[in-house]
Amino acid sequence: PVRNLLDTGLPFSYAILPFKDASKEVLQLVKDKGRTALLDLPLEPNDPSDITEDRKTILTSMSEPQVQTMVNSALAALPGVEGVINYQGSKATADQRTMTSVLGVVKEKNLFFIDGATSARSLVLQESGKLEIPAGKSSLYLGNRDSLDSFYEDLVEAAGLADRYGYVIVICHGGPLAARAWTLYGKELQESGITFVPVTDLIN
């Protein structure tokens, strides 16, 4: 799916979970195509049963040094990423101490942060603003669909948001369905007047 998405020629930015068997291979594929790579940083969700990355997930109960060590370790596993986005994190992004610890490392490494908007109470933009870290926020998630037709409906919604507000940051799960959908419909969206840009063009 990643190769197929890269072959669309669309300037997507790719968020990569660390410590997976294919993490480094995907990172290299993305960098070889000149695309923007981000660390998909596992952060604690509200429901502990939702945690999928086990010991790799940053918890709100951790101390500042523990959080910083984990962020640095994840970044070291994916050398050359340009930014960070939260994976899950509905609880952690709403916790000031945790986010201050995470963003401290982001600032030190001169990276940017994208809020995956997993919580309406997220403090990402507030805290990144205090630290003068370039940041942005997702407005829509594409990934819970099970057919091309329904995926297309989401793409139309995303295009509508871009038309209404001038731009939109959208997160899309990079699975086989998404790769097929973007291959089929990406050109159509471009011809409708939508301009695709790397997420780095939309942060401030």
pLDDT at 145 over 80: no
Q: Over range 67-85, report the average pLDDT.
A: 98
Determine the Cα angle at 81 with ends 140 and 84, to 5°. 40
CA torsion, ordered 77, 78, 83, 86, to nearest 10 deg: -60
Edge-to-edge order in the sheet of strand 13-16: 13-16, 36-43, 83-88, 112-115, 135-137
pLDDT band with cut points at 50, 70 and 90 for residue 125:
very high
For the entire predicted model, the pTM comes to 0.95
pLDDT at 130: 97
DSSP assigned state of 166: S
Specify the residue for token string 């500042």: 64
Start-to-end C-alpha separation, the chain: 30
Q: Which band of pLDDT confidence, cut at 50, 70 and 90, is reported for residue 169?
A: very high
